[in-house]
Amino acid sequence: MRKQTIHGADDAVIQLSLTETALIITYRAPNLRQGESVYLTLGTHREIGSAVLPFDRNNEGSTVFLPFKSDLLLVAVVKDGKLDCYQRKWEHWKWSKVSPNFTTAP
């Protein structure tokens, strides 16, 4: 398994692990507080994707423009001391509605 560690802002540590069949992304942020969010957007090439991320006033916030086409948006929000996770997929030329089918490991 190949691994790479990236040190991010606010003492966050991001670890990428690659096997023959999976990409495992570990994000540890010791200072993540109530109401804060972590976003991960990927270009999986399952769909053509979009360089403009979806936006929703009470969820994602403002429009974000990417330097690549994404077809998967994963979001984790700290709520009541736990992570509330959801995903959106680029399907049929538009972003899907929020789907809670994304889980995290402790």
* pLDDT value, residue 62: 77
* pLDDT value, residue 1: 80
Strand order of the sheet with strand 37-42? Answer: 37-42, 72-79, 82-91, 94-95
Question: Mean pLDDT, 10 residues at a time, over the chain (106 residues)?
Answer: 92 94 91 88 92 77 88 90 89 90 61
Give residue 88's identity as a one-letter amino acid code: R
Instruction: Name the residue among 42, 41, 40 with its Cα closest to residue 27.
Output: 40
The CA distance from 23 to 15, in Å, is 10
Q: What is the pTM of this model?
A: 0.81
* pLDDT value, residue 72: 94
* pLDDT value, residue 31: 86
